[in-house]
Amino acid sequence: MWLQREIRLEARPRGFHLVTGEVVGALPELGSVRVGLLHLHILHTSASLTLNENASPDVRRDFASWFDRAVPERAPYWTHTLEGEDDMPAHVKSSLLGPSLTLPISAGQLALGTWQGIYLCEHRDHGGSRRLVATAWGEAGEG
């Protein structure tokens, strides 16, 4: 079976945001996949997806602190500055974290670790709504 659907995530402020519920809620058909995979792909170059700790908001805040220091705005080596000070750092952060996640599906559910959640990594100050292409494939069945 194949499923492919575009998901539009609501606009969020710059930072790291837990979106597991929003993504899974948009894909009720996952419940009928016995074994398979879900691929999530973000259609942007200034926001990204990652998987990390799903319990403590301070982990997501610390992610922002580290990335803002590691990829600073107003560094003297940036030449692509016309689209704002947050633009070029957003591109680099996006590639460090990556545009896609591939996640196992087992018995109708994402087979994630207890503490794993899907993060939308919003690297722009005003990124707006973000679009994902979700593709699931596998064997149907109840497990």
Could you list the residues that contact a second copy (CB under 8 A)? Answer: 2, 4, 35-37, 39, 41-45, 50-53, 56, 58-59, 61-63, 65-66, 69-71, 75, 77-80, 88, 91-92, 94-104, 106, 111-116, 119, 131, 133, 135, 137-139
Phi, psi of 42 (to 5 degrees): -90, 135
Q: CB of 12: closest distance to a second copy in angstroms?
A: 18
Q: Residue 120 CB, nearest distance to a second copy (Å)? A: 13
Closer to a second copy at the Cβ: 11 or 43? 43
Both tokens assigned to 134: 């979700």
User: Which residue, 14 or 39, is less far from a second copy as judged by CB?
Assistant: 39
Q: Which position has the token pair 């016995």?
A: 34
Q: Which of 93, 90, 91, 112 is nearest to 102 (CA)?
A: 112
Q: How far is the CB of 22 from a second copy (least distance, A)?
A: 19
DSSP, res 7: E
Task: Decide whether 12 or 41 has the Cβ nearer to a second copy.
Answer: 41
The nearest distance, CB 76 to a second copy, in angstroms, is 9
- Strands (E) in the chain, as ranges, are 2-9, 15-18, 33-42, 47-53, 100-106, 109-110, 116-122, 130-140
CB of 102 to a second copy, least distance (A): 6
Cβ distance to a second copy smaller for residue 19 or 88: 88
- Calculate helix-pair angle for 87-97, 57-70, nearest 10 degrees: 120
Q: Which is nearer to a second copy, 25 or 109 (CB)?
A: 109
In the beta sheet, which residues pair with residue 35?
106, 139
